[in-house]
Amino acid sequence: MKTIIAATWQEMLRRKMLLITLVLTLLFMGVFWFIADTIALKGQSSSDLLARFERRGATLGLGFFFGGFVVAFLAIFSSFSVVSGEAEQGVLQSVLTRPIPRWKWYVGRWIGYVSLIGAYSLLLFAAIVCITAAHSGMTRDYGDMAVSLLLFLVAVPALVSASMLGSCLFSGIGNGVFMTMLYGAGWLGGMVEKVRSFLPVEPDTEQTLSRIGALLSLLMPADGLNRRMQYVLTQGAGESIPFLTGGNPPSNTFVIYSLCFTLFAFVLGLWLFKRKDL
């Protein structure tokens, strides 16, 4: 299994997917530094603490709006053709002719993607928090920061598990389209929640929008986890930009559902792969 994990890392490095992502992330961090410096209050007094708290939430909201997207698409486009694509190219057949159990190959691939993308997500989280801290300060509640980091990282195995499951069912291109639409549906669910929170609508309409947003978020919980993470990290101060961070944050029950979603997608994908005719 260690060989499969190392091969997965080498594949991502060979395709320069991770390198391109890192270069573009550095460019974004430069822009984000400038934005954080621009909207930060200079020479704050004690009366400006509330404004500083709100701007900290706004800065984090902007940073993780980008961070959620880049982690999601890195996870999707790294693994969307891991099964179907290699089967079509004949690579998978040559590997599995050796005495390697199918489950070890699948689990090794999963660990390889999750570990490498998780490491990138950790660095991205630290960079956004450090830039925000340099300009607007940060909460010293390290418990909230640890919980936020875990929520940010949990989205990675959820995305990889769903993507590898889709690769067992669809062709490479088909799964790429499917996963993009699935993530888009989850993101749309979050947007419905945000729009509902600040538009003047009737109570019945508000309840309908809330149900629609919740159902869409359940299809792919990655964006919901990102919204929950921002709420915990900003302690609710991100409401200053409703379009990005408004709406009711997902509950602890949603986080438990996300973990169950990840486990179900992983187990089902492994079961389908073991039965798949290559």
Q: Mean pLDDT across the chain, nearest whole number?
A: 83
Of the candidates 11, 178, 152, 28, the residue with the CA atom closest to the CA atom of residue 78: 11
pLDDT of 90: 63
The reported pLDDT for the residue numbered 204 is: 77
Per-residue pLDDT band at 212 (split at 50, 70, 90): confident
Q: Are 137 and 52 in contact (CB under 8 A)?
A: yes
pLDDT band, very low/low/confident/very high, at 201 (cuts 50, 70, 90):
low
Higher pLDDT, 63 or 16: 63
Least confident of 153-162, 164-173, 198-207: 198-207
pLDDT band of residue 1 (cuts 50, 70, 90) is confident
More confident residue, 266 or 87: 266
Residue linked to tokens 């390198």? 19
State the pLDDT at residue 46. Answer: 45
Which pLDDT belongs to residue 95? 66
> pLDDT class for 207, splitting at 50, 70, 90?
confident
Between 43 and 182, name the one with better pLDDT. 182
243-257 pLDDT per residue, tens: 555 567 788 999 999
Domain containing residue 185:
2-275
Listed range (13-22, 83-92, 184-193) with the worst mean pLDDT: 83-92
Structural domain count of the chain = 1
The 10s digit of each residue's pLDDT in 60-90 is 888 898 899 999 999 999 988 888 877 776 6
Give the pLDDT confidence score for residue 59 in this predicted structure.
83
pLDDT value of position 83: 85
- Per-residue pLDDT of 214-230, as tens digits, reads 898 899 999 999 989 98
